[in-house]
Amino acid sequence: MKISERALGMTASPIRKLVPYADAAKKNGKKVYHLNIGQPDIATSPKFMEAIRNFDPKVVAYGNSQGDMNLIKAIQKYYDAWGIHYETKNIFITNGGSEALEMAIFSLCDPGDEILVFEPYYANYTSFAKLASAKVTAVPTSAEDGYRLPDQETIEKYINGKTRAILLTNPGNPTGVVYTRQEMDMIAAIVKKYNIALIADEVYREFVYDGTYTSFGTYEELEQNLIMVDSVSKRYSACGARIGCVITKNNDLCAQFMKLCQTRLCVPMVEQVGAAALYETPASYLEEVNKEYKKRRDTIAAGLAKIPGLVSSQPKGAFYVMVKFPVDDAEKFAIWLLQDFDVNGETVMIAPGNGFYATPGKGVDEARLAYVLKSEDLEKALALLAEAVKQYPGRTI
């Protein structure tokens, strides 16, 4: 039996591919502090399960392909509160933010087309592009510059006749960067100049710790070019619900999204019922969560500052930080942490940085850390990392 070149060309998740090593470490009695994956330990809003417990139809029937209208209206109301109005016809419920991204890329790209990203970037962007027989074109940024965007002239050098969209996360995964108004204005100008799409992945918009947040949805000039990707996963700590949405005011794109929605029939109704209730969560919930993550951000920054030779920037949003370790290879270091290192039976799991880059050889000494643990555990994890750097045979200092 022949396996397709498309499947063979897919890459394993850099965030999840070391799971067998972590499982083996736990089987051997080690406690593993997980800094490798963005799975919050914050309690999901109780409204989710309350709504599901009260959901008692005689038949759990197919839902509308676009999505349950109660959920669509809840999302519409949420965006209205941000000063961004979408008609219900503009909003399509998806199986998490992942399907929203897939639908956006499938609707924009033919085989060989390109999506412009800024590396390091969320690793699955590469996979989503490959599924559409497209590819990512990566514009480099650096830890030393705080992962800020390069100037417009530099970015435009990466745009060609195959470029169909710019795709970025704001606030950023894996960098924690929050783009300035000047940077956003520049992106908007490039999108309009070349008449390409902007796929704005804004699933972390509630998690901004310094200053205020501006959504690309507020740019009126981008109305026909913007595709918004959103999700309940991180906002309400409901990653397993797998409910997201893709939004656009471009009617031609809406027609394509509807066809893709019909292809997969519908999103699970039970989860949609729970997700609709999540949007009724009081603002105080998000305010408290934001305070907690800011505390964790400050905790991890303080711990990283104590590790000699390590380079990192101060994340402004989301709950990730990219760091350059003084090691020969961060993936080897990550495996060594799980296989060979522990202090009193405890160790740490990190996400190697090379998977967040498209440029060969980039990110080899970098890793993404997710500060999704309580501060006390983060302090322990950072102390373990500091000791691990001292002991690691491939350290470079």
pLDDT for residue 105: 98
- CATH, domain range 5-43+284-391: 3.90.1150.10
The pTM for the full model equals 0.94
Strands (E), 108-189: 114-119, 135-140, 163-169
Beta carbons within 10 angstroms of residue 195's beta carbon: 8
Identical fold for domains 5-43+284-391 and 47-278, yes or no, is no
- Compute the distance between CA of residue 236 and CA of residue 300 in angstroms, rounded to an integer: 22
Mean pLDDT of 321-328: 95
pLDDT for residue 6: 83
**296: pLDDT strictly greater than 70:** yes
**11: pLDDT strictly greater than 80:** no
**8: pLDDT strictly greater than 70:** yes
**397: pLDDT strictly greater than 90:** no
- Compute the distance between CA of residue 309 and CA of residue 329 in angstroms, rounded to an integer: 14
Mean pLDDT of 23-41: 93
Residue burial 209-230, b: 16+ Cβ < 10 Å; e: rest? beeebbbbbebeebeebbbbbb
**Band of pLDDT at residue 313, cut at 50, 70 and 90:** confident
Average pLDDT of the residues of the chain: 95
For domain 47-278, give its CATH number from 3.40.640.10, 3.40.50.920, 3.40.50.720, 3.40.50.10320. 3.40.640.10
Secondary structure of residue 215 in the 3-state scheme: coil
Half-sphere exposure of 243 (CA within 13 A, CB side): 28
pLDDT for residue 81: 96
Mean pLDDT of 202-221: 95
Tokens of 123: 């690793």
Beta-carbon contacts of 245 under 8 Å, excluding residues fewer than 6 positions away, are: 67, 75, 91, 92, 93, 94, 100, 228, 229, 230, 231
Delimit the domains of the chain by residue range: 5-43+284-391, 47-278
